Each structure stands twice: as structure tokens, then as C-alpha cells.
Copies of this chain bind each other. A is one copy, B any other.
């Protein structure tokens, strides 16, 4: 993995400017490097009628890293990602701020880019574990993405 570090404040700002739900939920990029990102969402303002984080907020937290990881790993002038689907399971009540880490190996990134270069598009999955501040997994998701080449 490259050790290139990304400016997390700039990534947070870019996400919030392009997607109103990111601003509303106050999701934050807290770590970012090529192939690995960590995002956090505050419980406050993202709750439900029983005071835990609402399922829709947890969904957004599992989906935002797809774009962030893409930004740190691929050349956005050549490719763009779309989300095809998400299967999310809620395991425990989410009673604190929640974090999620997403990562992709150099080998997987190279495979996806090569497939997109050859076919114009390439499918890939990202598995996300959403954790509370005690490290408990409150939700797990499998996100189905497709990377596409611009202009194809």
C-alpha cells in the first residue's frame, strides 16, 4: 500500500457538499489513505424513537465509504463508481457514535481497474462492519458496486 495520506477535512467537506444527507448526518472522514478509509457518524441527531441510531443513518454510514475509498484508490478522471445494491443486517442496537472502516488491497484495485479498462465496467463488493465505541459490531453490510470507465 502507498503511504499517501489524504486530507480528511477536505474529503469530509467534499462528501457533505455533494450529498445533502452527508451534511445532515454530519458524517466525518477520520482516516484516509490509498486503499483504506475510516468514517464516523455521531449518534446525536441521527436517532430514532428509542434513542438508538436510525437504520437509515446506519445505511448511509455503510454506503458513504464506497465513494471515499474510490477517491483515495482510483483515478477519478478515468473511472466512476455506482452502487448497485446493499444487503445490510442490523445486529445490535447502536447506542453510541458509530465508525466504519473500508479497505481494498492493491491486488483487488488492480484487478478492478484492469477489468474496467477491458470491458468498460467492473463489479466489486465491499463488506462493511459498523462498530460502536466499545468495538461491538452493530451492523454488517455487503455493498455491490460497479466501476465504470468514463466515456464508454
Contacts and interface: CB of A to CB of B under 8 A. Distances in A.
Interface of A: 18-21, 24-25, 45-49, 54-57, 59-60, 63-64, 82-90, 144
Given A21-B24, A83-B90, A87-B87, A56 B63 contact: yes
How many copies of this chain does one complex carry?
2
A28 B83 CA distance: 25
Contacts of A90: 82-85
A60 B48 CA distance: 12
25 contacts: A18-B49, A19-B48, A19-B49, A20-B24, A20-B45, A20-B46, A20-B54, A21-B21, A21-B24, A21-B54, A21-B57, A55-B63, A55-B83, A55-B86, A56-B59, A56-B60, A59-B59, A59-B60, A59-B63, A59-B86, A82-B90, A85-B90, A86-B87, A87-B87, A87-B88
Given A18-B49, A24-B24, A46-B21, A88 B86 contact: yes
A16 to B, nearest CB: 11
Contacts of A54: 19-21
A87 B60 CA distance: 14
A47 B56 CA distance: 15
A89 to B, nearest CB: 4
